[in-house]
Chain A
Amino acid sequence: MQLPEPVTGARILAFGGYQPDNVVTNDDLAQVMDTNDEWIRSRVGIISRRIAGPEETVTDMAVAAAGKAIAGSGVSPADIDLVIVATCSTEAPIPNASASVASRLGIHAPGAYDLNAACAGFCYGLANASDAIRAGSARNVLVIGSEKMSAWIDPEDRSTRIIFADGAGAAVVGPVENPGDEPGIGPVVWGSAGAIADRIVIKDRTSFLVQEGQSVFRWATTELHPTALSALDQAGVKVEDLAAFVPHQANLRIVEALARKIGVPRERVADDIQYAGNTSSASIPLALARMTEHGELPSGSPALLMGFGAGMCYAAQVITVP
């Protein structure tokens, strides 16, 4: 028996993002429920969010985001051999989204699986992609976070309807350019807290998402920063050298509290939630796609990613901006 030659490291080649056309503002929500713009902004930091159309699926959004990432990567679909879709909101249990996404993008017969680590899913997928490339199980990997959270939200529940939204973000991951080059994806630090998994729940296929906001807020703002600091330490990157901290866009107040604990100045903290809402596994790649598109992240600079949410799963790693 033999194994392929290991590759020294993986890197992100390009990001792509997709948001549905339908913009729902805070004023729109104030028309249909007891809330207002000031109340929503002060509590969760959201100004508007995008909601998918009734016929638009997790797969559709994943295809749209991934198409942009592939176009920006210079990699041919024929050279992608693994597709991972991180999602917790697909319409149907079978078939998975990833195989259909691959087929629609012209990626021939890749390994394809969906991954449910909820809001931590993209970081988990990125870790899987990096490890697959390093071990020689895949040459190029497409990692997507795609969510239609609106399908699982009770329209009468103010606490969740103002927060959750729809969208997709994708990354094409490949090997380092030359053997021995520095890796562009650092070691993942991940974990879960299943004992408190009842804090964010969709009970069954006919139920809506229910979360204990105070409890989740306390967990996210008091328990998670050591994971982020450990990811920096393991990657050998100093917090002051970060071009950006891109955490899951759960709630702007969680994002800002986490950043303070880690020691990242506010101007380097992603705040994509303002115009995207909380899109679960899509929020990190969606933020990265927008920030790179707008030239906010210098190519070659390090960024710290951190996903966390239902499960309660969490993961952090440092990446090099493509």
Chain B
Amino acid sequence: MALSEQEILAGLGEIVDEIAGVPADEVTPEKSFVDDLDIDSLSMVEIAVAAQDKFGVEIPDDQLKDLKTVQDVINYVHKNAS
């Protein structure tokens, strides 16, 4: 069964908390990773790798650069989850 947007958001919150130390409740859809959550480019790679493990969706580097907000990642995972 496909994950709901809420489930992806919750999972992403856990990942961001673990990798960047940003509390999960601050990870809301409209937030920009770089500007609002102060996450740098290498942490974004770690988040992409962790998201791959958690959701089974690969996020290659050339796609990663277009994922600016939390909602962008939710959409990407939602669309590409098998």
Give the B-binding residues of A (Cβ under 8 A): 42-43, 212-215, 217-218, 221-222, 251, 253, 257
Contacts and interface: CB of A to CB of B under 8 A. Distances in A.
Contacts of B64: 214
B45 A214 contact: yes
B45 A42 contact: no
Q: Most chain-A Cβ atoms within 10 A of its Cβ — which of B41, B42, B61?
A: B42
Contacts of A217: 42, 45
B41 to A, nearest CB: 6
Nearest to B64: A214
B40 interface: yes
Interface string B15-29: 000000000000000
B6 to A, nearest CB: 28
Contacts of B65: 214
A218 B50 CA distance: 11
A213 B42 contact: yes
B49 interface: yes
B46 interface: yes
24 contacts: A43-B40, A43-B42, A212-B61, A213-B41, A213-B42, A214-B41, A214-B42, A214-B44, A214-B61, A214-B64, A214-B65, A215-B61, A217-B42, A217-B45, A218-B45, A218-B48, A218-B49, A218-B61, A221-B45, A221-B46, A222-B49, A251-B42, A253-B42, A257-B46
A251 B41 CA distance: 13
Interface residues of B, number: 11
Given A213-B42, A221-B45, 19 more contacts: A42-B40, A43-B40, A43-B42, A213-B41, A214-B41, A214-B44, A214-B45, A214-B61, A214-B64, A215-B61, A217-B45, A218-B45, A218-B48, A218-B49, A221-B46, A221-B49, A222-B49, A251-B42, A253-B42
A257 B42 CA distance: 11
Interface string B41-72: 11011101100000000000100110000000
Q: Which of B40, B49, B61 is the most central at the interface, judged by chain A CB atoms within 10 Å of its CB?
A: B61
A254 to B, nearest CB: 9
Nearest to B38: A42
Contacts of A43: 40, 42
Contacts of B42: 43, 213-214, 217, 251, 253
A218 B52 CA distance: 12
A146 B75 CA distance: 48
A320 B32 CA distance: 48
Nearest to A199: B61
A213 B42 CA distance: 8
A94 to B, nearest CB: 37
Contacts of B45: 214, 217-218, 221
A217 B40 CA distance: 12
Nearest to B49: A222
A62 to B, nearest CB: 32
Nearest to B40: A43
A222 B45 CA distance: 10
Nearest to B65: A214
A221 B49 CA distance: 10
A253 B45 CA distance: 12
Nearest to A42: B40
